[in-house]
Amino acid sequence: MTRTDEKVRYLPGGKVEALTPLSAASGVENVLRILEGRWKLVILFHLFGGKVLRFSDLERAIPAISQKMLIQQLRQMEGDGIVRRIVHHQVPPKVEYCLTDWGQALCPALDALLKWAALREPAET
């Protein structure tokens, strides 16, 4: 399996363009596309804080997810440059997952979303 972390550009380089309402909406839409999926945020929260977890650790931590779905979600996040897959060539094979620097940078943004959601007044019944 080839490593993707060297191919992915994590942090934008150079100048930052001024945002227009259209470009801002498009940028947020792209981010939401990267994070969409029932399990991606759960996986992210298990890996935050510099944790390095084996595949089996993630399976145990998220018992409701199927093995196939966990593999799919991890591969998508690896392809998007959020997760790094570390393969140790040994018998039995050992595969670990951790967040890239770019993936770890999501933590404050998701924390801000949680705080924002907490401001919502409960709906009257």
Taking the mean position of all CA atoms in its chain, how far away is CA 103?
A: 6
What's the pLDDT band for 8 if we cut at 50, 70, 90?
A: very low
Q: With 60 as the cut, is the pLDDT of residue 19 above it? A: yes
Q: Does the domain made of 36-117 have the CATH classification 3.30.70.141?
A: no
The percentage of residues in the chain with a pLDDT greater than 70, rounded to a whole number, is 85
- At residue 93, the pLDDT reads 87
pTM for the structure as a whole: 0.77
Instruction: Please tell me the predicted confidence (pLDDT) of residue 9.
Output: 46
CA neighbours closer than 13 Å in the CB half-sphere of residue 54: 8
Rounded CA gap, 13 and 23, in Å?
Answer: 18
Task: Tell me the backbone φ, ψ of residue 38, rounded to 5 degrees.
Answer: -60, -30
DSSP 89: -
